[in-house]
Amino acid sequence: MKNLTASTILFLLITSHCIAQNATLRVSLGHCSAGHYFAYIRSHPKDGAIEVPLTEGGNAGYNFAATSPEFISVYFSATNERNSKNFRYTFYLSPGDDLSFTGDFDKPDFGIKVTGKGSNNNQPLIGLIKRIELDGFYGDTLPRKVLNAIGAYKRSEENILSSYINTYNPSESFARDWRMNINYLSIDRFFDFETENHFRIQDAYKRNYDQWKKATDSLFSTAKLNNDSALTTPHYMSLLYMFLIREKERLWSEAYDHPQAFYREWYSADTSAGKKLYKADVSNLLQEKIINKYFSGRSAEYLYAVLFEQTELESNPINVPEIFGHFKSKYPNSPYIKEFTSYVENIISRQNRPINERMVFMADNGIKLNTLEDVLAAVKGKTVLVDMWGTWCGPCREEIEKNTMAIHEHFKNKGLYYLYVANHESGGVDNWKKLIAYFNLEGMHIMANRKLTDDIMDKVKGTGFPTMFIIKKDGTFEQSKTAYPIKRDILYKQLEDDLAE
């Protein structure tokens, strides 16, 4: 997130985009010219966040390209040294709309007024609807309370919509899309909650599995999972996004608990052959299988875009070019092809990198090293930055992508060595070495066995991956003073002090 020196509006496009007739939004906000204004929102794949600076008088305008009506979420934030005020507003914009939006940060209800063409679809009664918060229900071992809360919230939104329609006479598409959005509300919010709560109450969840499954099934029976006509609605898009992630996580458990059935259903193979295919890529290809099993049409096209976005965010290039090829064959006219082509081309270029002489592998890839002391002996007399990572570990790959080249450049010719210890590897040596070349990890490399991983993490007091620690010239060691996400300046200072000893 970056701090802006002028007031800013951040517009988030929630639906797909292409060249179309504009919908215009003019904004005027009072009491917001002083201080810094900023916001951050995760958006639809590849749309990004659109920042629109306000003038000193608090004015701005923006033209949205639209081929059909769409929901657009706008986040206003005003921050100065004394306080921070913000609010979110949901617009329903149609091609040709010309809206004027006024507000005032000093008024309790922000003094919002919406006028102009399309204003009948964008009045505050509907625009300021807030998202239901379910944090207070985490830890519940049964679904009854959270279902009741979600049901009450849904009825409240239905009442607001009915009142809005009676008061403002909105367009037919507005009424249709808002009803559809509310219809997916319960499924979206419960599914997101249930899958997260599952990890918090694992034993109780297993005991009460039938009741949780019954609740989930009853909600999914009220609306289709694969529904192109709902693809403009925020709750349906959120549901698809979460379903892809959570179904992948559920299948990870299935692969462990019921391997024979899992490999037969998802890989059409026996346990031996299926396990080999699965372990080679437990994320990207599995998500493509999920998309093809449950979805078709524009919903599947959207989820492919979500998949590519996630691989980019997690720096996970495994099988992306192959999956992108499948995608282009199925959707040759998709706007996402243009948006992701340069990303995929960069992956292909990096995947062609060879292992070079500055990538040094311990004897037998280090698999015979069992203790931290074995590692200390192997790097005796050196100052070494050790990265405990894994090819399977999203945060590990993210940190490597963001920081490795910068760290190497900062300490070039300063006597710092690098050791990358890969942990819990199941994809095989080839996959490990391919990612080492892909990320250009010049330094020493170990593929740790379980004993070595456990011993190192115990002695350096590591709690998860990635974990960094520093081995000093005298053979002592210390954990990095900054953890994921690392702050380079803190790490630099610590390493510089150790090199100076």
**Confidence band of 68 (pLDDT split at 50, 70, 90):** confident
Of the candidates 500, 481, 499, the one whose C-alpha atom is nearest the C-alpha of residue 490 is 481
pLDDT at position 279 over 60? yes
pLDDT at position 44 over 80? no
- Please give the pLDDT value at position 32: 66
- Please give the pLDDT value at position 66: 76
pTM of the model: 0.86
Mean pLDDT of 155-160: 96
- The Cα–Cα gap between 19 and 423 comes to 47
In this structure, of 57-61, 225-229, 263-267, 313-317, the range with the lowest mean pLDDT score is 57-61
- Please give the pLDDT value at position 33: 52
Rounded to whole angstroms, what are the CA distances from 1 to 45, 62, 275?
18, 21, 41
- Tens-digit pLDDT profile for residues 51-60: 777 777 778 8
Q: Given strand 416-422, what is the order of strands in its sheet?
A: 359-361, 443-447, 416-422, 383-389, 467-471, 477-479
- The Cα–Cα gap between 241 and 293 comes to 15
Residue 243, amino acid: F
pLDDT at position 93 over 80? yes
- Tens-digit pLDDT profile for residues 448-499: 999 999 999 999 999 999 999 999 999 999 999 998 999 999 999 999 999 9
Domain with CATH 3.40.30.10 in the chain: 359-500
Query: Is residue 49 within 8 Å of 6, Cβ to Cβ?
Result: no
Q: Class of the 8-127 domain?
A: mainly beta
In this structure, of 2-6, 130-134, 434-438, the range with the lowest mean pLDDT score is 2-6
Mean pLDDT of 162-185: 96
- Please give the pLDDT value at position 125: 93
- Please give the pLDDT value at position 476: 95
pLDDT at position 178 over 90? yes
Mean pLDDT of 315-326: 97
Percentage of the chain modeled with pLDDT above 70 = 91
Instruction: Give the residue, 250 or 142, on which the prediction is more confident.
Output: 142
Domain with CATH 2.60.40 in the chain: 8-127
Both tokens of 159, joined, read: 């009442």
What average pLDDT is seen over the chain?
89
**Domain spanning 359-500 has what CATH number?**
3.40.30.10
- Tens-digit pLDDT profile for residues 408-423: 999 999 999 999 999 9
- Please give the pLDDT value at position 427: 75
- Tens-digit pLDDT profile for residues 353-363: 999 999 999 99
pLDDT at position 251 over 60? yes
User: Is-cis flag, bond preceding 259, omega within 30?
Assistant: no
Mean pLDDT of 365-381: 96
Which residues, 6 or more positions from 26, have their beta carbon under 8 angstroms from its beta carbon?
59, 60, 61, 99, 100, 101, 116
Mean pLDDT of 441-450: 97
pLDDT at position 294 over 50? yes
Query: Is residue 393 within 8 Å of 434, Cβ to Cβ?
Result: no
- Please give the pLDDT value at position 83: 61
